[in-house]
Amino acid sequence: MIELRDVSYSYGGEALLRDLSLDLGPGSFHFLTGPSGSGKTTLLKLMYLELAATGGTVEVFGRDAAGLGRDDIAMVRRRIGIVHQDCRFLDHLPVRDNIALPLDTAGQERQGHQGELDELLSWVGLRPRADATPPELSGGERQRAALARALILSPDVILADEPTGNLDWEMSLRLLTLLVELNRLGKAILIATHDLNLIRQAKAQVAARVIRIRSGRLEMAGADL
């Protein structure tokens, strides 16, 4: 669904990422690790078309990202659910509206999705906080809201950037269980994380691949995890 071939990226100076190749196929499950500052978030931004590769090819749903116009990019993004590391929200809107925002942007009637919205809110444990605004939430509550927002359009690919960074272990496991369930439905999942326990837990449930960015290159992580 998303394929990188020999992709490089530089913010200006020396290349941060060099000659990366990766295929996120239907039903695939990847963990992305690597030291802080190695380029995990940058790689996710390349996949989400927030950044354009400075070398190589990014193909999304069979189309070369370099040839896509603004409208095409918007269409493609509807099929990719992203949980940002910094959980961006519109602070003046209640959580419920923030989660529903992708529906509005995609021109879909919110009315027809009320059930899904309530279900998602319950699942991430935010039903009682649905009318609060994002600044009133704890870090973990914000992360759960960000996950719910990433899922509201039933995307084919889910990219999650440190989604459990602020969650306790029980909530991390719930989040993982949801992502495993979605994966079994055929969705491609990629989780950037430092949480080795989470990776171990996932590997007991799905055939997850662990990849690591080291010195700008992508390598398969060893079996030591």
CB 44 within 8 A of CB 189: no
Q: With CB under 5 A as the contact rule, which of the stretches 60-68, 78-86, 128-136, 208-216 interacts with Mg ion? A: 78-86
Q: How far apart are CA 143 and CA 175, in angstroms?
A: 10
Chosen from Mg ion, ligand ATP, none, partner binding at 169 (C-beta under 5 to 8 Å by type): none
> Is residue 42 close enough to count as binding ligand ATP by CB under 6 A?
yes
> Is residue 11 close enough to count as binding ligand ATP by CB under 6 A?
yes
> Is residue 39 close enough to count as binding ligand ATP by CB under 6 A?
yes
Q: How buried is residue 170: exposed, middle or buried, by Cβ count under 10 Å (0-12/13-18/19+)?
A: exposed
From residue 73 to residue 112, the character string flagging contacts with ligand ATP as x (rule: CB under 6 A) and all else as - is ------------x---------------------------
The length of the chain, given as a count of residues: 225
Kindly state the smallest distance separating residue 129's Cβ from ligand ATP, in Å: 26
> Is residue 41 close enough to count as binding Mg ion by CB under 5 A?
yes
How many CA atoms within 13 Å lie on the side-chain side of 182?
Answer: 25
> Is residue 193 close enough to count as binding Mg ion by CB under 5 A?
no
Q: Figure out which of the listed residues 4, 16, 46, 95 binds ligand ATP, where binding follows CB under 6 A.
A: 16
Q: How far apart are CA 166 and CA 157, in angstroms?
A: 23
Name the residues that contact Mg ion, by CB under 5 A.
40-41, 85
Name the residues that contact ligand ATP, by CB under 6 A.
11, 16, 34, 36-42, 85
